[in-house]
Chains A and B, each alone.
Chain A
């Protein structure tokens, strides 16, 4: 399926019943150089909108919210030693974690690429 986006600038790509989640290129650009990522624990369950991770740049620390409800199945441990990957490839190698979705219907509450681009333009 295609990638969906939240108003808080997370992206989510579904593969079967598990989705990969990260922060968008727009968010990474706005944050500046990322120096630290606090990832959730594997196995932990979140509800849609819960604080799930923290991303710190030289400018600010921001919470990353769970775009959907579900359980963390995997986290991107490579970010611990190479947080700059979030800037270099935010929507590829800079992914944060994988979530096994509790409710596929929640994806319908998120934006597609065109709607997200409009959202960013409005924030801009």
Chain B
């Protein structure tokens, strides 16, 4: 057989087979506005390699990276220091190149790191069992909602207005397509408790976040108790894994499922991804958990070894009744998480969390000193929302001109939220006193 795919004859044969008169007719369902009607505008036809490199380098130079100056952007992606050791470990070829590294015969090292990752996530969240990771925090949240529906055999999930809007959107996308009712409560800086009122006998789970998207730390215990009283599950979300070094973990607040983003530990901002979703639950729910799970066992000689386990949950065995269509994990990001967490240890994580909280307190104190600034978040870890005397978009643009990336405007995440003058700002161990002083001085100039 010749290997020259997609000849005009091939196309004609395929179109005839599916009954479409032309390729354009095949794409009929795509709205005109989303279709390309000719060459991409502004893109020259072709140029030499040197010219292309020159042009792209000039474009790249216009980017401002998180390390180029004072940086206070958070809202689900945090700039933390990643020790050089982490990069060294994940770039070892045994780890870096082993795609689908689940064969126990040849991948004991990778399987062991996944097992250790799971152990760390279970300890971090104070849950019984964690899987080998999900794509990111938002898809982990969506999978938790689907899992709650399987467990309770109910078809309604409720998210607080403090859940990161991207997580809520991902959850809506996956659930709505399966006919599950998704209720997203109005955004509130300090309103996780509203979940209690929204519970009913049809609710599969309530999904609350702490610290929430406005940075507010909330004890979710009462919400858990109320959910359990109605036969619903409690899903506890976090976007900042480092917070768990200081705030009570989901497992201590009665959560049945804990999900979150693990980027903060071991992973740089990576232009917004890839990230690593953390997913943990109680032992009782283990068989309804999505995703891969590495387990410890013994080999034929009685030696310690590692294999994928509880695979009957998964697609290759359970087909359409699998718990999820994820049959992979964010292996390299999970390895980075494991390497960093191993370096930190429990004490190191707590110390790191303290540094973050202290930096955020210093930032809040400094910004509060600016005329007209009001801190909105009542209890925070390393991130908080504040009101500026002027429009937040304008304020952030003027701060940007002064070299300061001052945070995320709330109206960008919550366009309908009546929050045009609200900025959400984060500080981490990377934030210096000079950064904070520069922010406060610049903000005082622009407002």
Contact = CB atoms under 8 A, between A and B. Distances in A.
Contacts of B287: 36, 38
Most B Cβ at <10 Å: residue of A36, A56, A60: A56
A118 interface: no
Interface string B305-340: 000000010000110010000000000000000000
Contacts of A38: 287
Nearest to A61: B312
A98 to B, nearest CB: 21
A38 B288 CA distance: 11
Most A Cβ at <10 Å: residue of B287, B312, B318, B321: B312
Contacts of B318: 61
A77 interface: no
A63 B312 CA distance: 12
Range class of the A interface residue count: under 10
Nearest to A55: B312
Decide if the interface of chain B is mainly helix, strand, loop or mixed.
helix
Interface residues of B, number: 5
Given A36-B287, A38-B287, A56-B312, A63 B317 contact: no
B25 to A, nearest CB: 41
Contacts of B317: 60-61
B208 to A, nearest CB: 27
B312 A60 contact: yes
Interface string A23-44: 0000000000000101000000
Decide if the interface of chain A is mainly helix, strand, loop or mixed.
strand
A36 to B, nearest CB: 7
A76 B140 CA distance: 34
A36 B311 CA distance: 12
Interface string A65-99: 00000000000000000000000000000000000
A63 B317 CA distance: 12
Interface in B282-322: 287, 312, 317-318, 321
Contacts of A61: 312, 317-318, 321
B361 to A, nearest CB: 49
Contacts of B321: 61, 63
Contacts of B312: 36, 56, 60-61
B66 to A, nearest CB: 46
A117 B228 CA distance: 47
B204 to A, nearest CB: 15
A30 B312 CA distance: 16
A56 B321 CA distance: 13
A38 B287 CA distance: 9
A117 to B, nearest CB: 29
Contacts of A56: 312
A63 B322 CA distance: 12
Nearest to A36: B287
Interface string A99-116: 000000000000000000
Interface in B245-288: 287
A4 B321 CA distance: 28
B266 to A, nearest CB: 34
A61 B313 CA distance: 8
Nearest to B319: A61
Interface in B57-101: none
B300 to A, nearest CB: 16
A35 to B, nearest CB: 8
Contacts of A63: 321
A30 to B, nearest CB: 15
Nearest to A35: B312
A33 B369 CA distance: 69
Nearest to B312: A61
A63 B321 CA distance: 10
A60 B313 CA distance: 10
A56 B286 CA distance: 14
A61 B287 CA distance: 12
A20 to B, nearest CB: 24
A36 B312 CA distance: 10
Interface in B32-61: none
A36 B309 CA distance: 13
Nearest to B313: A61
Nearest to B322: A61
B201 to A, nearest CB: 15
A72 to B, nearest CB: 14
Most B Cβ at <10 Å: residue of A36, A38, A60, A61: A61
11 contacts: A36-B287, A36-B312, A38-B287, A56-B312, A60-B312, A60-B317, A61-B312, A61-B317, A61-B318, A61-B321, A63-B321
Interface of B: 287, 312, 317-318, 321
Given A36-B287, A38-B287, A61-B318, 8 more contacts: A36-B312, A56-B312, A60-B312, A60-B317, A61-B312, A61-B317, A61-B321, A63-B321
CB-CB nearest 5 A-B residue pairs: A61-B312, A56-B312, A61-B318, A61-B317, A60-B317
